[in-house]
Amino acid sequence: MADGRELVYFDDSEPYVSGAATRRLDDPRPLPDRFAPVVDEHGVAHPITGPELRRDPLTGDWVAIAAHRMNRTFLPPADANPLAPARPGATYQDGEIPDTDYDVVVFENRFPSLLAVPGVVDEPTAADGEELWTVRPAAGRCEVVCFSSDPTQSLRTVGPRRMRTIVEAWADRTEALGALPGIEQVFVFENRGKEIGVTLHHPHGQIYALPYLAPRTAAMVAQAQAHHDATGRLLGRDLLDAELRAGTRVVLESEHWVAYVPFAARWPVEVHLAPRRDVPDLPALTDAERADLADVYLELLRRLDLFFVDDESAIPLPYIAGWHQAPVHEGREVSRLFLQVFSVLRAPHKLKYLAGIESGLGAWVNDTTPERIAARLQDLA
């Protein structure tokens, strides 16, 4: 791209699959190099500074400080959608994709919360000379995945062929990002709906490559390690087997995948989707598992979009969907791939706001039961 970011096309249509044609590979925008020195009002050049990580001394969690994101794009009008393809015949527009059409495309986020700046060493230091205040560069990477060039589509409506391409993109980028220096985990996710707080309505997701284990991932790895130490088995395997034995919360089964509402679901709508085979991450899936996933995921999203009805009309579900994959290094051997999909909608036009005990202490309260969630999804088969 014009400012040095990487962009990757994933094609499933002709003439691109056969190589008879190639997507546009140049970016005509007059963007400066993102790592170029910044000149202040006095004409003095200063090295670019990236986002940083600060460790919370009370919990040990890393918090990304990325002040440049305050002015990022927010719900632009249709004619200024940065994820739309370029307009045919236009000499310039400030969109991220230079071609006039695409199938699936992945590119580095223009406003990342994680960014590895060349020449900056990723080492923790004491801020202001205080040992309690630890800071380090937020040396990761943030990517955007556009599921379709059509802004009126959603992931649910892309169809099995396109969903299969998206699965390939997820797996490809997971492998590529996991190989970058200093990366500890790769998180593939999608936010959908204004209730979730999306800043762009175009059908897209994101991929974060983190230089540390996120708090929830670290907790799950610790739990999985303790279970393995005690039993010699994978916690994820035993959980899936237990859900299959009980059966009451299983909502969807295929040859390679099982979807179920977890025993201790936190959210008013929550589903986990897990492979039948013990798999650490998306790149480890076979072709058959990936093809099956494309169909299963679309069926799961279809049911979720029918979960709530208002005046006999289904309400498209606002949700967050995230792939929990084995970390790159720590705890990889005890981790097992699964997808978590959940929604903040607890009833038509009613949101679940985190109460004081949930936001303040992380002590969750669910206002429904996992069995009721599962029963509704089973009815929508």
Name the more confident of 38 and 99. Answer: 99
Instruction: Quick: pLDDT tens for 24-40.
Output: 999 989 999 999 998 88
Name the active-site residue from 46, 68, 201, 204.
Answer: 204
Looking at residue 41, its pLDDT comes to 87
If you average pLDDT over every residue of the chain, what do you get? 94
pLDDT band, very low/low/confident/very high, at 126 (cuts 50, 70, 90): very high
Instruction: Quick: pLDDT tens for 212-243.
Output: 999 999 999 999 999 999 999 999 999 999 99
DSSP, collapsed to helix, strand or coil, labels residue 230 as helix
Please name which of 305, 311, 314, 322 lies closest in space to residue 377, comparing C-alpha atoms.
305
Which has the minimum average pLDDT: 42-46, 64-68, 125-129, 255-259? Answer: 64-68
Looking at residue 136, its pLDDT comes to 97
Does residue 135 contact residue 122 with C-beta atoms inside 8 Å?
Answer: no
For residue 354 the two structure tokens come to 């985190």
Looking at residue 70, its pLDDT comes to 52
In one-letter notation, the amino acid at residue 50 is: G
Q: Give bridge partners of residue 9 from the DSSP assignment.
A: 105
Which has the minimum average pLDDT: 132-136, 145-149, 190-194, 272-276? Answer: 190-194
- pLDDT for residue 171 is more than 70: yes
Does residue 16 contact residue 115 with C-beta atoms inside 8 Å?
Answer: no
d(CA 196, CA 62): 23
Is 204 catalytic? The answer is yes
Does residue 168 contact residue 42 with C-beta atoms inside 8 Å?
Answer: no
- pLDDT for residue 140 is more than 80: yes
Instruction: Quick: pLDDT tens for 332-348.
Output: 999 999 999 999 999 99
Instruction: Quick: pLDDT tens for 242-301.
Output: 999 999 999 999 999 999 999 999 999 999 999 999 999 999 999 999 999 999 999 999
